[in-house]
Amino acid sequence: MASTADIRNGVVLSIDGQLWNVVEFQHVKPGKGGAFVRTKLKNVMTGKVVDKTFNAGAKVDIENVDRRDFTYLYNDGEGFVFMDVADYDQITVGAATVGDAANFLLENQQVQIALNNGNPLYIELPASVVLEITYTEPGLQGDRSSAGTKPATVETGYEIQVPLFLETGTKVKVDTRTGDYLGRVN
């Protein structure tokens, strides 16, 4: 068991059977009363953010989380298969763990997977990926009264909003956090 003195940004704590990532922490020593540690914690699985205060010297359960680089290989129907770039071991990650990241995964793409005791917790994608538009309606000349966007389906099957001038077969850069169009790639 560790104490509150071991709390740092990025440390993962186990509280009531759930894993929480420390986003921010602050040691506070008021003029009157005992010292305490104020933290902002993010749930590893759900992404929920909460504030929690610990008394100074209290025991906390710090979990070992290993972030390693993997290459996405394929979807086998039951899950997504990744290969560790260090030792070439393959792991299968369930669709629930992959979540919305599946909208941006291409074969042979590099990702980071956070592991706790060999169990995948979540997947970190690069900030943006390059995807090819597989289908979009042709843009009509003079159709500029609105913001000038139209729906387009990319090669992963995900639908994004793109400017009217883009056509099928164009490669575009997409933000993996929001799904927004960032620009055209030559």
pLDDT of residue 104: 93
State mean pLDDT over 136-156. 77
How confident is residue 177, by pLDDT bands cut at 50, 70 and 90?
confident
Q: What is the location of CATH 2.40.50.140 in the chain?
A: 66-124, 128-185
pLDDT at 156 over 60: yes
Q: Name the least confident of 36-45, 105-114, 116-125, 129-138.
A: 116-125
How confident is residue 77, by pLDDT bands cut at 50, 70 and 90?
confident
Q: Of residues 147 and 161, which shows the higher confidence score?
A: 161
What does the mean pLDDT of the chain come to? 89
Domain 66-124 has CATH 2.40.50.140: yes
Cβ-proximal residues to 14 (8 Å cutoff; 6+ apart), any chain: 20, 61, 62, 63
Which long-range contacts (C-beta less than 8 Å, at least 24 apart) are formed by 154-163?
A: 155/106, 155/131, 156/102, 156/103, 156/104, 156/105, 156/106, 156/131, 157/103, 158/103, 158/104, 158/131, 162/133, 162/136, 163/139
Q: What is the location of CATH 2.30.30.30 in the chain?
A: 2-63
pLDDT of residue 148: 76
44: nearest Cα among 2, 14, 82: 14
CATH class of the 128-185 domain in this structure: mainly beta
Q: Considering the chain, what percentage of its residues have pLDDT values greater than 70? A: 95
pLDDT at 139 over 80: no
pLDDT of residue 95: 87
Q: Which CATH number describes the domain made up of 2-63? A: 2.30.30.30
pLDDT of residue 171: 94
pLDDT of residue 27: 92
Instruction: Please tell me the pTM assigned to this model.
Output: 0.72
How confident is residue 153, by pLDDT bands cut at 50, 70 and 90?
very high
Look up tokens 């980071």; give the residue.
Answer: 112
pLDDT of residue 147: 64
